[in-house]
Structure 1
């Protein structure tokens, strides 16, 4: 996310990053820990959004990578976000396509951009195209990319190029969130 934040800043998009509590504990040397319960993750998002709203009077998009984006998507309408951006959305747990995490995405009203790798193990192009998604959602596919937006080496693409393409798509979307990018 640091690299994406830098790319977006270079495109004139201000980015505020935060950590969920379990990630902060990991960083402090506690080793790998499972994510906090969903209710705690959502409360963390609500608190962060509230603090930002106190400081920012203009449009405010929310989002994140993988689970962070998923948690933001669960709250986007409630928080009345101006836009939602998800990078590598976990449409289903890896290897468990029978457990989609998409019910709320059929009804979401917030203009949404999901940047997804075509071969993401948590939602490849073929699988995602079968989900009923709201008309507010725009999908931007990265060729031969995985969940981390990294392409297969044989594709001739590079991770750097994919991150640049993702940043271009996000910047374009945030300029006009209701339109295709």
Structure 2
């Protein structure tokens, strides 16, 4: 069966395509990912979204389900990657970005983009998820809020990340890019900033 995609088309001829995976707790059409996909689309980036098996099952029968084991998530990502038009950038929100990053060198996409990478579980900085990022050969970009409890600037500065990987910080943003009220910015503003940087990475 051919995998299904939620496609956010561009108003102009697509200049690049991004396969975007959702995070652990929200579906592919969450408010965050809808806003991000639209912000990318206006910049000529076609966004293809899909759901991992546990989230697709939750949509069909209701109720909350935990994420599938990592091998299942990776197989699902591989399946959708192979069904998508090439060339292709890959990435995702939080857990979705982690899955993409684990597969990047295997799949050899045009590039990798992670929105809010889960460098470690909140409150557990010793449990890092960075070993594979030190050896990454794929050109990549991580867009991270400076207040993200999954990895803040002082923590990330101490990681030995690959030279192929850039980390771009969004001021006062949390894991969902919600800023402090004192910043005068909104979540939509920071998502738009993230989309601008992501588009520049893909089109530069």
The TM-score, its normalising length taken from structure 2, stands at 0.82
> What is aligned with 1:117?
145
> What is aligned with 1:49?
81
1:32 Cα deviation from its structure 2 partner: 1.4
- Unaligned segments of structure 1, at least 5 residues: 177-181
> What is aligned with 1:30?
62
Contact conserved, 2:35 with 2:188, CA < 8 A, in 1? no
Partner residue of 2:119 out of 74, 91, 97: 91
Deviations 1:126-164 (A, max 9, x none): 111111100111111010110001111122221111011
Whole-angstrom distance in 2 between the partners of 1:129 and 1:35: 29
Q: For residue 46 of structure 2, give the secondary structure of its aligned residue in structure 1.
A: coil
RMSD of aligned alpha carbons: 1.0
Instruction: Give the 5 Å matches for 1:82-161.
Output: 82-161=110-189
Deviations 1:88-107 (A, max 9, x none): 00000111101000000001
- Unaligned segments of structure 2, at least 5 residues: 1-32
> What is aligned with 1:169?
197
> What is aligned with 2:7?
none
Q: Name the structure where helix makes up a greater proportion of residues.
A: 1
Whole-angstrom distance in 1 between the partners of 2:116 and 2:46: 20
Whole-angstrom distance in 2 between the partners of 1:30 and 1:84: 32
Extract structure 1 runs of 4+ deviating beyond 3 A: none
Q: Tell me which moved more, 104-113 or 154-163.
A: 154-163
The TM-score, its normalising length taken from structure 1, stands at 0.92
Q: Name the structure where strand makes up a greater proportion of residues.
A: 2
> What is aligned with 1:179?
none
